[in-house]
Amino acid sequence: MGAKVISGKEIAKKKRREIADEVRALREENIMPGLAVILVGNNHASKTYVNNKEKACAEVGMESFLISLPEDVSQQELLKKIEELNKREDVHGILVQLPLPDHIQEKSVIEAISPEKDVDGFHPLNIGRMMTGQDSFLPCTPYGVMIMLEETGIEISGKHVVIVGRSNIVGKPAGQLFLNENATVTYCHSRTRDLGYHTSQADIIVAAIGKPNFIRSSHIKEGAIVIDVGINRDEHEKLCGDVHPEVADKASYITPVPGGVGPMTITMLLFNTLKAARQSKSVLHNA
């Protein structure tokens, strides 16, 4: 029969239309949501991501500010630039494109961004709020996954969710968001013994391990829902996810690569920037 495809591309389109409507309404109140992106160096993949973010901002009517800094910029200079953006009223969201050069401490950079402008959802304050179920900016990729399931009408409460991967950007926060929705969560990673034992019990699998075509049919139970967060190149340099195509014959739902989780990540970044602009409006009103 084959799995039903959860199209992130289609859901992202719908969400971006909604965001564009809200941006228009804010602009009528003289508030122009603005996203500042800092790009350090000439990493080709990073440049592509940044271009996509700029296009997405234009699509929904947001301002975007690109700050390009040289590869050898000092950490002090970068932190100074972030401090300037923290103070700018026309910038509601700040994003520093990762990865950063080795001489710059990622942790210091993330912590320098004002939590009110941390639209990536990586600041410890936002992570802490997410952990305790408070309102916060949620990390964009896991947030996108939750919206995809919600839009598809998939019930999460009571389900067993297995997360394969434990990165701070996807794996860990994804597990917490599922837990917040009353799922039972198991984390698996490179040190997990007998991975297949755990994944084959999952109602929902989130593959975020960064290995091409790693999850096979033998890893999942019949009818499982499979979310593929991976973006890799296979041995033929073809774009692929962490989940092997054969899994589609056994799963009930699956996300494609490309066109699955990817478009949702940037969409939730736009959503977080809109939310930050809205919050800045209420701060102005209460001042």
One-letter amino acid at 2 equals: G
Mean pLDDT value across residues 254-271? 97
End-to-end CA distance of the chain: 59
CA distance 244 to 213: 4
Model pLDDT, residue 282: 73
Is residue 151 domain-shared with residue 93, that is, in the same domain? no
Is residue 232 domain-shared with residue 157, that is, in the same domain? yes
In a domain, 16, yes or no: no
Sole residue written with tokens 């990762």: 98
Is residue 163 domain-shared with residue 243, that is, in the same domain? yes
Has 166 been labeled as part of a binding site?
yes
In a domain, 229, yes or no: yes
Has 231 been labeled as part of a binding site?
yes
The three-point CA angle 92-96-239 to 5° equals 115
Question: Which pair of structure tokens corresponds to residue 211?
Answer: 């290995």
pLDDT at 284 over 80: no
Is residue 161 domain-shared with residue 100, that is, in the same domain? no
Q: Name residues whose C-beta falls within 8 Å of residue 80's C-beta, 6 or more positions apart in sequence.
A: none
Is residue 54 domain-shared with residue 100, that is, in the same domain? yes
Half-sphere exposure of 231 (CA within 13 A, CB side): 11
pLDDT at 226 over 70: yes
**What's the number of domains the chain is made of?**
2
Is residue 93 domain-shared with residue 148, that is, in the same domain? no
Could you tell me the CATH number of the domain that includes residue 193? 3.40.50.720
pLDDT, tens digit, for every residue of 59-115? 999 999 999 999 999 999 999 999 999 999 999 999 999 999 999 999 999 999 999
pLDDT at 287 over 90: no
In a domain, 178, yes or no: yes
Has 233 been labeled as part of a binding site?
no
In a domain, 126, yes or no: no
The pTM score is: 0.95
Cis peptide before 256 (omega within 30 of 0): no
In a domain, 276, yes or no: no
Distances in Å between the Cα of 239 and the Cα atoms of 117, 217, 244 are 33, 20, 12
List the domain range (segments joined by +) for residue 150: 140-262
Identify the domain boundary among 97, 114, 131. Answer: 114
Model pLDDT, residue 283: 61
pLDDT, tens digit, for every residue of 153-205? 999 999 999 999 999 999 999 999 999 999 999 999 999 999 999 999 999 99
pLDDT, tens digit, for every residue of 23-40? 999 999 999 999 999 999
Is residue 175 domain-shared with residue 82, that is, in the same domain? no
Q: Name residues whose C-beta falls within 8 Å of residue 122's C-beta, 6 or more positions apart in sequence.
A: 110, 139, 168, 169
Is residue 165 domain-shared with residue 229, that is, in the same domain? yes
In a domain, 226, yes or no: yes
In a domain, 99, yes or no: yes
Could you tell me the CATH number of the domain that includes residue 94? 3.40.50.10860
Is residue 158 domain-shared with residue 258, that is, in the same domain? yes
Model pLDDT, residue 1: 57
The catalytic residues are 53, 97, 120
Is residue 187 domain-shared with residue 223, that is, in the same domain? yes
Model pLDDT, residue 281: 78
A 10 A CB-CB count for 249 gives: 12
Is residue 188 domain-shared with residue 144, that is, in the same domain? yes
Per DSSP, 120 falls in state T
Is residue 258 domain-shared with residue 155, that is, in the same domain? yes
In a domain, 110, yes or no: yes
What's the distance, CA 121 to chain centroid? 9
CA distance 8 to 265: 9
pLDDT, tens digit, for every residue of 102-153? 999 999 999 999 999 999 999 999 999 999 999 999 999 999 999 999 999 9
